[in-house]
Structure 1
Amino acid sequence: MSCMRVTVCELPDERQAFAPAWEALVAYVKEQKSELVLLPELPFSAWFGRTPEFKADVWQRAEAEHEVMMRRLPELAPAIVLGTHLLTEEGRHLNRGFSWSSADGYRGIHDKYYFPDEEDFYERRWFDRSPRDFTVAHVQQDLALGFLICTEVMFNEWARHYGRQDANIIAVPRAATRHERWVIAPQMAAIASGAFVLSSNRVDEHLFSGRGLVIDPDGKLLAETSREKPFVTVDIDLEQSTQAKRTYPRDVVE
């Protein structure tokens, strides 16, 4: 599986707008015959990180909304689906990166480790950490995959760490603002790792910028979404990421 057709998106934070956007994404993925789809960070509930106090009822409602939509991932089949969802595990509140496919079902891959704690993004007050783990996951044998969930893409050492594990793709699901760093940091992650970087984002009128991204292993922006074009699909050659590991700056010895 050297060549792969990948789709990134921007999906609305507002719940009434989300439902038709989901239906449109399902239709688009089938029309494009996408093989892999990346969803934004925690796409299945409205963003609750604006609130600085943890509220159990808000968490429980958001978790239930995610559980409902996780059962609808087969609507995107036969594509592999990547994203994050929230769950409670042994009393801890987690933001977990996952893959789903019709062949292998659900697989939890990486729990978000780095959380902001600032206006509109009080995530440190809502989420708990699992032990730090940035290990590549092998999905359907041929695909080596890593997650850098939103803020984590600012920690470039983990992009390089994924590159040393021969990652083909780094998934960067976002709930991010309009600042240009949300383009620069994924580009740097691609350059540091020699992997393709895919990023999807929430979108609204005030906080979230949208702008899903497909970036090649040398940091070139191959495609991006917009309000007018909320989904984009690109054919990538995973062998390009293998070759990139042998070139600068990936070949620099530490």
Structure 2
Amino acid sequence: MPVCAYVEMMDGLQPHGAAWDQVAQALANRRPDILVMNEMPFGQWLARKENFAMVDARQSVEIHEAGIAALAALNIPAVITSRPTLLAERLVNEAIVIENGQIRPLHTKTYLPQEPGWSEVSWFSRGDGHFNIQNICGLGVGVLLCTELMFNEHARQYGRRGADLIAVPRATGSARESWITAGKMASIASGSYVVSSNRIGQSGDGPMFGGGGFAIAPGGDLVGQTQTGSAIMLIDIDPQVSARQRQEYPCYVDELHDAVGLEVP
């Protein structure tokens, strides 16, 4: 069965130098099949600033291009993360998977916060609202980018479409428990494994990121968290376990439009 790694990566991560070499070596030692990275993992967090600036946007795009090359060089079969992409003088936050050195777009972030430290509406255009299952390493995989985890209807629909794994790249603050609760609910609603990674550390003049990557088994049990000294963790993803859980309550309960004898206006 595929082994999935989840992490907490330092804010301002660079895709080169001694710190990156340590990350690359640690991942090489663990040899995961899938790596879930945090959301837009390289360089400074753009949304710490309230107003869009093209020079900063271009710098973030450039460092993520270098970062994706560095991730591809790790020779991990699949790396799930996100990147900023310029689109019509704005950015989108695009979830991607890197497979055998090739980049495959998954979807663009749809739910965007706007508050101090996370002024994402100022920087990014919203995605199209498409949340599709992808085949990654033989698993059905859905991706929820950070705030999207808080909208449980998408986790449920991923489960109904056969998701074994929901990957959640994040860039969140110190309130770990609310994110773990959201991850547990996503797993309960979908029957899927939920695996999330996060930034950690102070973002210059921006927010303090809380780390706390986590893994939740189908049905909602928290089975692991990253922490100081354990920044990379592993979990086996057993598709038979998720398939069984999708037949259990509440996953099997019909949607309104599936229910026999009910009229839907």
Give the shorter-chain TM-score range: over 0.9
| Partner residue in 2 for 1:229 | 230
Displacement of 1:31 after TM fit?
A: 1.2
Aligned twin of 1:183: 180
TM-score (norm 1): 0.93
- How far the C-alpha of 1:132 sits from its partner, in A, is 1.1
SS of the equivalent of 2:210 reads coil
C-alpha distance 15-40 of structure 1, shift in aligned 2 (>3 A): closer
Question: Does residue 1:114 correspond to 2:95, yes or no?
Answer: no
Give ranges in structure 2 of 5+ residues lacking alignment: 256-265
Are the equivalent residues in 2 in contact too, given 1:94–1:112 (CA < 8 A)? yes
Shift of 1:189: 0.6
1:246 & 1:144 partners in 2: Cα distance? Answer: 16
2:95 paired residue number:
97
What does 1:34-53 align with in structure 2 at a 5 Å threshold? 34-53=32-51
Q: State the alpha-carbon separation in 2 of the partners of residues 128 and 235 from structure 1.
A: 35
TM-aligned CA distance change 1:67 to 1:190, over 3 Å:
same
Corresponding pairs, count: 250
Matches within 5 A, 1:29-178: 29-102=27-100, 105-140=102-137, 142-178=138-174
Give the secondary-structure state (helix, strand or coil) at the position aligned to 1:132.
coil
How much does 1:23 deviate?
2.2
Asked if the contact 2:39/2:83 (under 8 Å) is kept, the reply is: yes
Q: CA deviation at 1:21?
A: 4.0
How far is 1:202 from its partner? 0.2
**Structure 2 residue aligned with 1:251:** 252
Structure 1 residue 228 displacement after superposition: 1.7
Which letter does structure 2 place at the counterpart of 1:235? Answer: D
Match of 1:211 in 2: 212
CA contact (8 A) 1:4 1:238 kept: no
Specify the code of the residue in structure 1 equivalent to 2:153: E
**Which amino acid in 2 is paired with 1:82?**
I
What is the identity, as a one-letter code, of the residue corresponding to 1:131? D
Shift of 1:252: 1.3
Secondary structure of 2:38 counterpart: coil
Once residues 253 and 233 of structure 2 are traced to their aligned partners in structure 1, the CA distance between those partners, rounded to angstroms, is: 33
Q: Give yes or no for contact 1:210–1:227 (8 Å, CA) kept in 2.
A: no
Q: Distance in 1 between matches of 2:19 and 2:191?
A: 32
Paired residues of 1:11 and 1:18 also in contact (CA < 8 A): no
The alpha carbon displacement at 1:35 in A equals 0.6
Unaligned runs of 5+ in 1: none
1:189-215 per-residue CA deviation (whole Å, 9 max, x = no partner) reads 111111111100000046111011111
